[in-house]
Structure 1
């Protein structure tokens, strides 16, 4: 069944962006109001330029003693992984597993490269089989390095 599902079938739509020039304080308020832990960052052209998480705000801003009102969201831009809305569920899982990510923006390439949604672990759990979700979890979490443990 999952082979027939496309990214657009799995995603949550209606994703809101924080503007690259908006502050991390504004991003934090948006996250609170939308009850999400991550927001896409969109540039002046309304194209996806990055993602900001609640953890980013705490670790890269607050923990450094920097006020979130003084930092633009766009300063956190980094290479962001995304998926075409027409990609199949297998490609969604592969992309998330390979990059060990838990949130994946969905772009409608055919309609002007617009951000149309976000795929999260909750979306996977709702739309894929238990076996697929278990495989995803084992690949994303089991291979993550553990603090304080040496590899080898």
Structure 2
């Protein structure tokens, strides 16, 4: 199965110049924990609810802080024609819960989450990814980036 068969195609995009309050509101409206950050028709980062909590609120930054100050710039992503099982395995190894999905021209076409993988696929690929994501330690950190199949 390909990533394109399970990904969410409707994705809200934040601007690096948006405030974290605007990004948080967009996440709430979309019932999402992350937003891709785009500028000039290119993906330049990801901002998560955790980024806002740890890199802004915990540091005493205000609601007018720009997304660019708290987003993860080291973007990991997958391609829409990648094999879903392989991407799920990579998500577990790299400890990420969601990935932007790109076409081969490196344009954002969706987002893939653990929930997307789990819905209708049964326990195997989602379980492997979840056990990796839930493992303590690893490449993820409170102040650093995430990882998966491909890097920007």
Bin the TM-score by the shorter chain: 0.7 to 0.9
Closer, same or farther in 2 for the Cα pair 1:77/1:55, shift >3 Å?
closer
Q: Deviations over 1:1-44 (max 9, x none)?
A: xxxx111111011111101111111101111111111111112x
Which residue of structure 1 aligns with residue 144 of structure 2?
A: none
The match for 1:63 among 51, 55, 58 is 58
What is the TM-score with the length of structure 1 in the denominator?
A: 0.82
The match for 1:144 among 116, 123, 136 is 136
Q: What pairs with 1:18-97 in structure 2 (closer than 5 Å)?
A: 18-43=14-39, 45-69=40-64, 71-75=65-69, 76-97=71-92
Q: What is the CA-CA distance between 1:77 and the residue it aligns to?
A: 3.5
1:33 and 1:137 mapped to 2: Cα distance?
A: 25
Given that residues 77 and 102 in structure 2 are in contact (C-alpha distance below 8 angstroms), is that contact kept between their aligned partners in structure 1?
yes
1:13 and 1:36 mapped to 2: Cα distance?
A: 13
1:93 and 1:39 mapped to 2: Cα distance?
A: 20
2:123 and 2:72 mapped to 1: Cα distance?
A: 34
The match for 1:135 among 111, 116, 128 is 128
1:31 and 1:132 mapped to 2: Cα distance?
A: 26
Corresponding pairs, count:
137
Question: Which SS does the other structure have where 2:109 is aligned?
Answer: strand
Structure possessing the higher radius of gyration over alpha carbons:
1
Question: Which SS does the other structure have where 2:76 is aligned?
Answer: coil
Which residue of structure 2 aligns with residue 148 of structure 1?
A: none
Given that residues 92 and 128 in structure 2 are in contact (C-alpha distance below 8 angstroms), is that contact kept between their aligned partners in structure 1?
no
Given that residues 10 and 127 in structure 1 are in contact (C-alpha distance below 8 angstroms), is that contact kept between their aligned partners in structure 2?
no
What is the TM-score with the length of structure 2 in the denominator?
A: 0.82
Which structure has more helix as a fraction of its residues? 1
2:126 and 2:106 mapped to 1: Cα distance?
A: 28
